[in-house]
Every structure is written in structure tokens, then in C-alpha cells.
Amino acid sequence: MRRTLLSFAFLLPVVFVGCSDAPPAPPAPTPTQPKEDDGDESGHDRANMMTIHLGKRHAWLTARLSAKDGNALELFLEKALPHTTIKAKARRTDGKEIDVVFEQAPIAERAKDGPGLCSHYVAKAPWMMPADDLTILADIDVAGKVYKAKWDEFIPKDYTHKKD
């Protein structure tokens, strides 16, 4: 009996060592959380926008090509700002520069912005053609720090969300 116990005692570590060679169990899946809405209530698809960074935040530019309402540029900011307007320049590949003034979009299109804040701006651009190759430049003040925003090789037909 003693011999059987000793044999068993020697086999016990082998059993445990053998078990340790098994591959580790995969980690439990973590539930995916839907991304938090960035405040844009107008239903714009970010795939049709050119994205740049303003520090840790994003800014998106898109074009609206409309024979009925007129062409426009639309600027979306990840964080609503207290600006009533944002001034910019549009530079064409032929060197011509055009002053652009982004104004607050209608309140219905930015309903989540707090009082006195805006995250969606629109600039009328009747001069803009669908195939233009533009560089849009703007200085945007975010909490006292001015960022040099630059959307390069912006071709309106490639970044449009409304065409009629």
C-alpha cells in the first residue's frame, strides 16, 4: 500500500505539469459600446468629410453642391465653440485665394450644442466647382489655443454630402 501511495505521489506533479501545457483560455469577450454621438444631429456621414486634428479634437469639412440652394462648405467640430463665425481662406490650384466666412448653422442642425456654442458652421461658396482642388486654411481658437487648420487637396465632389 505504501508503494502505491509513493507511486501516486510521484505521478501527481506530472499530472499537474501536463495540464499546464494546455493553451490558455481566450479572454472573455468585452461588450462593444456604441460610440458616443459627437453632437451632430443633421445625420451627416463622416465618410463624406475630410478630417483633420485640432490638438486632441477633430474637425471635418464637407461640401454641399446644390443648384437650388447654392454651393457651400460645411465645417463640423468635435467640440462646440463659442464662435459666431470662423474666417478662412480657400486657395485654388491656380493660386487664386477666396475669403470664406463660416457662420453658425441653423440651431435645428446643432441642437445638442449648449447655449452660445456651435459645432456646425456653413460658408456660402457660389464660386466653388465640383472638380476644384482646394486648400482651405483657417485659424481656429480652441479654449485659448489657436490651431492652424488646413484641409489640403479638398475636391468638393469627393467630399460632398448633398448634390442636386
121: domain CATH number is: 2.60.40
Cα distances (Å, whole numbers) of residue 160 to 116, 137, 141, 153: 28, 18, 26, 14
Q: Residue type at 78?
A: E
Is a pLDDT exceeding 50 seen at residue 42? no
Predicted local confidence at residue 141, as pLDDT: 95
Q: Quick one: which of 79, 90, 77 has its CA closest to 49?
A: 77
100 CB-near residues (< 8 Å, 6+ apart): 73, 87, 88, 89, 90, 123, 125, 136, 138
34 part of a folded domain: no
Predicted local confidence at residue 35, as pLDDT: 37
With H, G, I as helix, E, B as strand and everything else as coil, classify residue 117: coil
Q: Quick one: which of 81, 78, 74, 75 has its CA closest to 114?
A: 81
**What mean pLDDT do residues 108-129 have?**
94
- How far is Cα 4 from Cα 155, in angstroms, rounded to an integer? 83
31 part of a folded domain: no
Return the C-alpha torsion angle 114, 115, 119, 121, nearest 10: 160
Residue with the three cell numbers 472573455: 28
Give the total number of structural domains in the chain: 1
pTM for the full model? 0.72
Which residues on adjacent β-strands are paired with residue 91? Answer: 97, 135
105 part of a folded domain: yes
153 part of a folded domain: yes
The pLDDT > 90 percentage for the chain reads: 63
70 part of a folded domain: yes
pLDDT in tens, 50-86: 999 999 999 999 999 999 989 999 999 999 999 999 9
7 part of a folded domain: no
- Domain coverage including residue 126: 49-163
pLDDT in tens, 119-159: 999 999 999 999 999 999 999 999 899 999 999 999 999 99
End-to-end CA distance of the chain: 93
Predicted local confidence at residue 163, as pLDDT: 63
- How far is Cα 84 from Cα 14, in angstroms, rounded to an integer? 75
44 part of a folded domain: no
Predicted local confidence at residue 89, as pLDDT: 98
